[in-house]
């Protein structure tokens, strides 16, 4: 028998494929023990697992943690001992702590290319076209962006010149995040100057092309074309005038709407505006989504530079309560001197007049500043000793992450601000699962220990200690991975269904379907032709958990206050659910506690008797839970290798810096 080269190669490929499958199977089994339930394992493979091109598959949880640790060692070297590295690694692997979820995804080539991908959130006051380019670049790197369109900043934009008819030479757009942002800024400057430019999009990758560094797939040039056309029309409509605060707000929101990081729409924004800005007060009233759908991208908050009169407050609070969306929210700039620790105010006072916040409101930032986040995962059986151990690990992680200040493309102020303050955001999630944590003395001990650990390790790492260390972030999506109540938010109920949407073409869905996992078509679609399906995961809360319908708005506010006073140096971020008869009482509480207010959002509480078809959460009985669990197949995620021949990951669909309003997986 004659053996041809092709047959040898085929046999070799088959052998290699079988070897890869066996290796993947073993690694999937090894990682499985770290997932607290079936939902957590699914969320990991859907949202956090990166593609390994050399192996032709997604990575496993252990490999994700190893990649993070390798990048940490690359940056820290021998500043930690091997024993300390191992302790940190085990803390992440066992989900006792989590680092920046952005860095957990980007550690390696993406974070090496720009450290912006390591950060959860940023803020800047918009004063010039270049700031719009920075918002675009940061959003493309996956961080949430807060921005201010207060008049004191927007008035720095020039009057829009009348169009002269002059057309500049054709501008060829470079195929990179920097190239997109530079082209956009060039266009804005050109249109403001009364001229026009023709853009050449031919160098941009087509839709669906693989993004090797960031992961996922290209969006193609269409979103950038959309942004350029939108912004040009907006600017030309104001010839002979200055752009208004609402104009700049709309442009920023449009950036958020078109930005695609790793092929996934993933921007999160907050827009700050003057208290007396009537256009911004009414920006999201009525059917705004019909004429300005981009405004969905940002939550809007009014800036209070001093405590308002009761009449002023009542006017804004009434607008917030009647909006149905909890907007505009409150940014209490005037209270910062009282709220921030003295050691921070010393360096912050000169920046206070332009200070803002990240999209969830838990971090107070200078204009052009990032904050990195890390978190302890509080469990039902935690003790003070175990929480102390966790807060130490989370602080070490945050202190290290604050050293990542290689911000390519951005203006030098970003690096300067981050290195001067080295802000941390050491948080906790699972408050309502963990009884011992709901104690002011425990909170104070954790805060003080975090500050001390940061001081110690900053000295070892050769950097200045952080001016602010502790916060409480919403943890909307990471809590699905760790199976905890999210941040300061309660569990839904003792037993509930958690529903997740997934595309019919997603390899994960095809694999789950093949293994018999139950699914339903999206509302309004059928089993035969649906493009989106809904997966249902049964979840059991810890015995000690507190549930959303068991706690009033005032009780939520009081626990927020306990965290604010005893734990956070920044803010505890929370969305308060307010019943239809609780708005007056809640408003009165806010006004009486004005000096400490920050990081609060409000939404109307859902009526208990209203059930939405295929809602993200649905209460079920213990018997229904047990029946669902008994029928769930044991999913073998190593089978993904049969359904995914190339990178189909979603570029870490962890939406950075969004609250529980957006617990999307």
The DSSP-derived string for 605-620 is PPPTT---TT-SEEE-
Residue 299: exposure state from Cβ atoms within 10 A (0-12, 13-18, ≥19): buried
DSSP, res 355: -
**Model pLDDT for residues 446-483, shown as the tens digit of each residue:** 999 999 999 999 999 999 999 999 999 987 778 999 99
User: Nearest 5 degrees, angle CA 318-CA 489-CA 564?
Assistant: 75
Q: What's the pLDDT score for residue 623? A: 97
Of the candidates 461, 487, 465, which has an alpha carbon nearest to the alpha carbon of residue 476? Answer: 487
Neighbour tally for 54: CB within 10 Å: 5
Q: Is there a cis peptide before residue 262, judged by omega within 30 degrees of 0?
A: no
- Judge contact between 568 and 597, C-beta under 8 A: no
Q: What's the pLDDT score for residue 323? A: 81
- Judge contact between 414 and 369, C-beta under 8 A: yes
Bridge partners (DSSP) listed for residue 122: 145, 370
Q: What's the pLDDT score for residue 651? A: 55
Strand 269-274 and strand 298-304: pairing? Answer: parallel
* Spans in the chain with pLDDT lower than 50: 1-15, 262, 264-265, 609, 652-655, 658-665
Q: What's the pLDDT score for residue 230? A: 98
Buried b (16+ CB within 10 A) or exposed e, 482-494: bbbbbbbbbbbbb
Q: What's the pLDDT score for residue 287? A: 87
Residue 426 is inside which H or E element, if any? strand 426-429
Q: What's the pLDDT score for residue 1? A: 37
Q: Which tokens in the block code for residue 536?
A: 């249902």
User: Nearest 5 degrees, angle CA 150-CA 345-CA 327?
Assistant: 35
Q: Which tokens in the block code for residue 237?
A: 């409509």
Q: What's the pLDDT score for residue 261? A: 53
- Judge contact between 137 and 178, C-beta under 8 A: yes
Neighbour tally for 408: CB within 10 Å: 12
Q: What is the residue extent of each domain of the chain? A: 120-303
3-state secondary structure at position 125: strand
Neighbour tally for 77: CB within 10 Å: 8
| Separation between Cα atoms, residue 119 and residue 373, nearest integer Å | 8
Q: What's the pLDDT score for residue 405? A: 98
């Amino acid at each position: 028998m004659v053996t041809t080269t092709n047959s040898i190669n085929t046999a070799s490929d088959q052998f290699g494929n079988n070897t890869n499958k066996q290796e993947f199977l073993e690694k999937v089994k090894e990682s499985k023990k770290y997932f607290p339930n079936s939902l957590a394992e699914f969320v990991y493979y859907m949202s956090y697992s990166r593609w390994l091109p050399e192996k032709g598959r997604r990575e496993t949880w252990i490999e994700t943690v190893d990649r993070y640790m390798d990048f940490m060692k690359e940056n820290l070297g021998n500043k930690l001992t091997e024993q300390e590295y191992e302790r940190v690694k085990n803390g992440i692997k066992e989900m006792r702590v989590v680092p920046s979820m952005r860095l957990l995804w980007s550690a390696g080539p993406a974070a090496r290319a720009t450290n912006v991908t390591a950060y959860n959130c940023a803020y800047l006051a918009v004063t010039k076209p270049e700031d719009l380019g920075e918002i675009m670049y940061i959003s493309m790197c996956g961080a949430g962006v807060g921005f201010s369109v207060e008049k004191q900043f927007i008035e720095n934009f020039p009057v829009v010149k009348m169009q002269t008819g002059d057309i500049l030479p054709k501008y060829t757009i470079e195929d990179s995040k920097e190239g997109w942002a530079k082209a956009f800024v060039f266009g804005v400057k050109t249109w403001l100057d009364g001229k026009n430019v023709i853009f050449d999009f031919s160098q941009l990758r087509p839709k669906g092309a693989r993004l090797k560094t960031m992961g996922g797939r290209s969006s193609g040039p269409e979103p950038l074309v959309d942004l350029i056309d939108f912004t040009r029309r907006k600017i030309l409509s104001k010839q002979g005038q200055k752009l208004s605060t609402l104009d700049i707000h709309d442009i920023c929101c449009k950036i958020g709407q078109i930005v695609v990081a790793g092929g996934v729409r993933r921007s999160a924004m907050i827009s700050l505006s003057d208290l007396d800005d009537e256009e911004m007060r009414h920006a999201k009233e009525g059917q705004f989504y019909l004429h300005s759908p981009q405004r969905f991208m940002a939550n809007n908050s009014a800036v209070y530079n001093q405590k308002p009169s009761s009449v002023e407050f009542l006017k804004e609070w009434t607008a917030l309560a009647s909006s149905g969306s909890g907007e505009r929210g409150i940014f209490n700039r005037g209270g910062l001197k009282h709220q921030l620790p003295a050691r921070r105010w010393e360096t912050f006072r000169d920046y206070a007049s332009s200070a803002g916040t990240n999209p969830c409101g838990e971090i107070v930032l200078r204009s052009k500043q990032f904050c990195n986040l890390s978190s302890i995962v509080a469990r039902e059986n935690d003790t003070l000793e175990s929480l102390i151990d966790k807060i130490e690990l989370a602080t070490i992680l945050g202190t290290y992450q604050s050293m990542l200040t290689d911000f390519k493309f951005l203006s030098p102020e970003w690096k300067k601000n981050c290195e001067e303050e080295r802000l941390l955001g050491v948080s906790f999630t699972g408050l309502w699962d963990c009884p011992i944590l709901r104690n002011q003395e425990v909170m104070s001990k954790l805060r003080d220990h975090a500050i001390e650990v940061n001081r110690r390790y900053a000295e070892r790492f050769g950097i200045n200690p952080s001016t602010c260390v502790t916060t409480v972030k919403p943890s909307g999506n990471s809590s699905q991975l760790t199976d905890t109540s999210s941040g300061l938010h309660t569990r839904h109920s003792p037993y509930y269904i958690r529903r997740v949407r997934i595309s019919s073409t997603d390899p994960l869905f095809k694999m789950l379907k093949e293994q018999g996992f139950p699914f339903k078509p999206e509302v309004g679609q059928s089993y035969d032709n649906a493009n989106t399906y809904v997966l249902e995961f049964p979840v059991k809360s810890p015995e000690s958990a507190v549930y959303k319908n068991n706690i009033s708005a005032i009780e939520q506010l009081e626990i927020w206050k306990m965290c604010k006073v005893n734990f956070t140096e920044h803010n505890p971020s929370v969305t308060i659910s307010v019943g239809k008869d609780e708005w007056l009482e809640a408003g009165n509480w806010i006004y009486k506690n004005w000096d400490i207010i920050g990081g609060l959002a409000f939404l109307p509480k859902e009526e208990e008797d209203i059930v939405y078809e295929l809602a993200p959460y649905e209460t079920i009985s213990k018997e229904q839970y047990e029946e669902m669990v008994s029928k769930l197949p044991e999913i073998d995620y190593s089978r993904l290798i049969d359904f995914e021949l190339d990178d189909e990951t979603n570029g870490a669909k962890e939406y950075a810096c969004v609250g529980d309003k957006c617990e999307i997986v």
